[in-house]
Amino acid sequence: AQKVTQAQTEISVVEKEDVTLDCVYETRDTTYYLFWYKQPPSGELVFLIRRNSFDEQNEISGRYSWNFQKSTSSFNFTITASQVVDSAVYFCALSRELVQGAQKLVFGQGTRLTINP
């Protein structure tokens, strides 16, 4: 079965600290896609990054970085020098294409990140 686990329900840090959000996934597929989304207090869902299962290169975008490791089925997200505006709920998600073109998308439970000034 396809599953995404974000074991950290809530994280609270002081501004400027680095913080890592964990994401562990389960799938038997060889081709799949991983995503991170941000949900700020205003409620909308904002896309952050996509990774396919054949691309294990780490990604850096400003203060954000992602570490994809197939060997441990993890796709962790690190915020460097956190800021109050980073406070949000973050979701990790896994998608796959089934036979006959059907598609499934599964989200983790989310991690609520609070950055305190």
Partner 1 sequence: EAQVTQNPRYLITVTGKKLTVTCSQNMNHEYMSWYRQDPGLGLRQIYYSMNVEVTDKGDVPEGYKVSRKEKRNFPLILESPSPNQTSLYFCASSPGLRYEQYFGPGTRLTVT
Interface residue list for partner 1 (CB under 8 A): 4, 6, 9, 33, 35, 37, 43-45, 47, 50, 52, 91, 93, 95-97, 101-110
**Token pair of 74, please?**
């993890």
**Token pair of 90, please?**
């973050």
Decide whether 30 or 103 has the Cβ nearer to partner 1: 103
CA distance 14 to 17: 6
Strands 111-116 and 10-14, how do they pair?
parallel
Shortest Å, Cβ 14 to partner 1: 25
Decide whether 18 or 98 has the Cβ nearer to partner 1: 98
Q: Which residues pair with 22 in a beta bridge?
A: none
* Phi, psi dihedrals of residue 92, rounded to the nearest 5°: -100, 145
Decide whether 88 or 96 has the Cβ nearer to partner 1: 96
Decide whether 35 or 75 has the Cβ nearer to partner 1: 35
Shortest Å, Cβ 50 to partner 1: 6
**Which single residue is written with the structure tokens 């329900």?**
9
CA distance 46 to 26: 23
Shortest Å, Cβ 117 to partner 1: 26
Shortest Å, Cβ 46 to partner 1: 8
